[in-house]
Amino acid sequence: MKRQIKSIAAAAALALGTVAFTSLAATPARAADAAPAAAPSAAVPNGGIYAGDWLVRLRGIGIMPDASSNGTLKALNADVNNTIVPELDFTYMVMDNVGVELILGTSRNQVTSSLGRLGGVGVLPPTLLLQYHFNHAGKIRPYVGAGLNYTLFYNNGLQAGGQHVSIDNHSFGPALQAGVDIQVAKNVFVNADIKKIWMRTGASLNGSSLGTLYIDPLIVGIGVGMKF
């Protein structure tokens, strides 16, 4: 608030000074002695993002699966636990209002059932999003995004009855996003972000299908970012 007040006061002072200078220059008695006014320098934006900028964000995210399943997995009430992990993303502004974001992060998710805990599996879900940034020249910049998620499931430790449960290693699905960047310094901002990602994997035991587990997490994050 103090910074905004100072900015407004500075702008008002500049405007008053300009008016006063113009009035004096227009006075006939001093017109002959008035020196030519220097050309105004180009304004440098105090905030905002523009085409060609890179934005890098580091967030802490909460991953909250909206799990459902079919087949035997449904009969076993298969579910996936929530988890909290770091996330890194990179956005390149292809236009003042349009950016492309790549989200990187990984988590280890625990799968539970009516039989108890089935074990954990690593999830690596790089996601590519096309974003639209509102108020790109301001200090408070909401945005929305949509894109494609690819998920790699790795280090599978799932077991049932002492036997290894096999899963599909890959998943493709859509992703949606909404968030806001709030500038706090010349090239630094804080960020809040929410995403919905659709991902799934099939499971089998000794070659027999157990059904499909739909994970479909809601991901909520908060963090900091820098503009380059």
Whether residue 43 lies inside any domain: the answer is: no
Instruction: Let me know whether 25 and 59 are in one domain.
Output: no
Per the prediction, the chain carries an average pLDDT of: 84
**How far, in Å, CA of 189 to CA of 56, rounded?**
10
Instruction: Let me know whether 9 and 88 are in one domain.
Output: no
**How far, in Å, CA of 81 to CA of 79, rounded?**
7
Whether residue 59 lies inside any domain: the answer is: yes
**How far, in Å, CA of 144 to CA of 130, rounded?**
8
Instruction: Let me know whether 62 and 27 are in one domain.
Output: no
What pTM value is reported for the model? 0.76
Return phi, psi of residue 169, to 5°. -85, -15
Instruction: Let me know whether 26 and 114 are in one domain.
Output: no
Whether residue 45 lies inside any domain: the answer is: no
Instruction: Let me know whether 17 and 88 are in one domain.
Output: no
Instruction: Let me know whether 65 and 169 are in one domain.
Output: yes
Specify the number of domains making up the chain: 2
pLDDT tens-digit series, residues 114-169: 989 999 999 999 999 999 999 999 999 999 999 999 999 999 999 988 899 999 99
pLDDT-above-70 percentage for the chain? 80
Instruction: Let me know whether 10 and 123 are in one domain.
Output: no
Whether residue 47 lies inside any domain: the answer is: no
Q: Any idea what the CATH number is for the domain that residue 201 is in?
A: 2.40.160.20
Instruction: Let me know whether 99 and 206 are in one domain.
Output: yes
Distance of CA 207 to the CA centre of its chain: 39
What was the pLDDT predicted at 47?
A: 78
- Kindly state the tokens that stand for 63: 């991953």
Mean pLDDT across 196-200? 97
Nearest to 113 by CA among 137, 77, 62, 86: 77
- Kindly state the tokens that stand for 85: 């992990």
Q: Which amino acid is at 173?
A: G
Instruction: Let me know whether 120 and 73 are in one domain.
Output: yes
Instruction: Let me know whether 111 and 10 are in one domain.
Output: no
Instruction: Let me know whether 24 and 59 are in one domain.
Output: no
Say if residue 4's pLDDT is above 80. Answer: no
Whether residue 197 lies inside any domain: the answer is: yes
Instruction: Let me know whether 17 and 60 are in one domain.
Output: no
pLDDT tens-digit series, residues 56-114: 999 999 999 999 999 999 999 999 999 999 999 999 999 999 999 999 999 999 999 99
Sign of torsion over alpha carbons 227, 188, 128, 140? negative
What was the pLDDT predicted at 26?
A: 39
Whether residue 41 lies inside any domain: the answer is: no
Say if residue 2's pLDDT is above 70. Answer: no
Whether residue 141 lies inside any domain: the answer is: yes
Residue 185: domain span: 54-227
Whether residue 39 lies inside any domain: the answer is: no
What was the pLDDT predicted at 46?
A: 63
Say if residue 41's pLDDT is above 70. Answer: no
Contact 124, 201 (CB under 8 A): no
Least confident residue range of 24-33, 46-55, 121-130: 24-33
Q: DSSP class of residue 135?
A: S
